Amino acid sequence: MKKNSLVLVLALTLFATLAGAQDASSVLRPPKGSQLAIVVFEDLQCPMCRQDNPLLEQASKTYKIPVVIHDFPLPQHNWSYEAAVNARYFDGLSKDLGSQYRDYIFEHQVEIIPQNLRGFSEKFAADHKVSLPFVVDPQGKFAAEVNADRDLGKHMNLDHTPTIYIVSNKTHGAPYVEVKDRSQLYQIIDAMKAD
């Protein structure tokens, strides 16, 4: 009986590993119509994410490639999850507004604490002439989207933010490369374009 239990545990572990790999391969692709993209798993409370945000935006403009953002709020950050849910609310109004909200939160990151995040979000909404409902996510739809991104990152064994990939739609060679040294971002994009 112990042998069967061990085989079952090994089979389930292998299945979970393969499922995670399938998730990674489907996520680490550019959006339809793009040859390359920057995929980033970020936490709105992460200082390195704030620091890298302008670099990624500039690379996106320079190379005319999209940035695909996945929320990966880290457990040690006490307001990043709520900010990610708010960002999803603004994404629902328009992707551009969601991106602007994320930039705004990064800009004010050092001033934000759990008690004033709502005030910053209300000011952003007022400045953009949209409303922020008293309950941002009554059905839990936006939280489910954040949870799905976070779970995906966990399946991919991510443990830090930002985690940045340059991804391509090529069918030979490595279709994605993690950017571990931010000073190499443009060189990695150039190499992926040349392949």
Q: What's the rounded Cα separation, in Å, for the pair 175 and 165?
A: 10
* CA dist list (Å): 114 to 42, 44, 171: 18, 13, 45
Of residues 100, 78, 75, 73, the one with CA closest to residue 89: 100
pLDDT given at position 96: 96
- The verdict on whether omega for the bond into residue 31 sits within 30 degrees of 0, i.e. cis, is no
pLDDT for 74-121, tens place per residue? 999 999 999 999 999 999 999 999 999 999 999 999 999 999 999 999
pLDDT given at position 136: 97
Taken in order of first residue, the domains within the chain and their CATH numbers are: 2-194 (3.40.30.10)
Percentage of residues in the chain having pLDDT higher than 70: 87
Q: What's the rounded Cα separation, in Å, for the pair 164 and 35?
A: 17
In the DSSP assignment, the letter for residue 31 is P
Percentage of residues in the chain having pLDDT higher than 90: 79
In the DSSP assignment, the letter for residue 30 is P
Residue 137 predicted with pLDDT over 50: yes
pLDDT given at position 171: 77
Of residues 169, 171, 168, the one with CA closest to residue 188: 168
